Amino acid sequence: MSFDPHIITDHLDDIGNGFLVTLGTWSSGVVLGLLLGLVIALAQVFGNNFVRAPLRVFIEIIRSTPFLVQLFLLYYGGPSFGLEMDPIPAGILGLAVYGSVYFAEIFRGGFESIPRGQLEAADCLGIGRLRCIVRIQLPQMAVIILPALVNLVTVLCKETAVLSIITIPELTMVLTGIGSQTFAFVETLLALCIGYLILVEACSRLGMLLETRVGRFMQRQPQ
């Protein structure tokens, strides 16, 4: 058997649609996961024990179970609890919940990295908690946690391959389907690798750009 690039060129429309679905579910899951992770982190840092304890259990459960198992429970087990969702919304929610606990730990570490003296000084000046978070803590922690955030976003990009298990027509499902129909597994798997390489490389480049911009912005701020 010889390598046949026409297998890919003949299915470019399907592959392109799968690429867009992967990009859409990934970006939506990341944004939702970031927001949920920030809320969890704030509750952990500023909440009381009655809030922290259940959140700690939730974080440990999500971190201790495979993403594949979580998707199965959400999509196939959800109807047993009255939660019925289409594949794409279920995939986005599953990706967001899975990523949120890791985002929360990154945010929590960022909050705790800010010197306590700054927070005490803000309190003495009568600066409210919300304003302190927005004006003092978030700008400083952005520089510290940005590399870890970019790394996690990259990991979540590759986790989208698991979404094919709940029939989401993303890049992995489309290309493995083409491979099964044509028996051209080398061509389709190579195309799959290239597709994810493009996504991961774009994410890495954007992350480096953001790190540079944030670093320059912080250098211009008055000390």
pLDDT of amino acid 26: 96
Rg (CA), the chain: 21
* Its pTM surpasses 0.75: yes
Residue segments in the chain with a per-residue pLDDT below the cut of 70:
1, 215-223
Domain with 186 in it: 6-220
pLDDT in tens, 83-136: 889 999 999 999 999 999 999 999 998 888 877 777 777 777 777 777 777 777
- 1 assigned to some structural domain: no
CATH label of the domain that carries residue 198: 1.10.3720.10
Q: How many domains does the chain have?
A: 1
Contact yes or no for 66/130 (Cβ under 8 A): no
pLDDT of amino acid 221: 56
Maximum distance among all alpha carbons in the chain? 75
pLDDT of amino acid 114: 77
Closest CA to 2 of 152, 187, 190, 133: 187
Mean pLDDT, all residues of the chain: 88
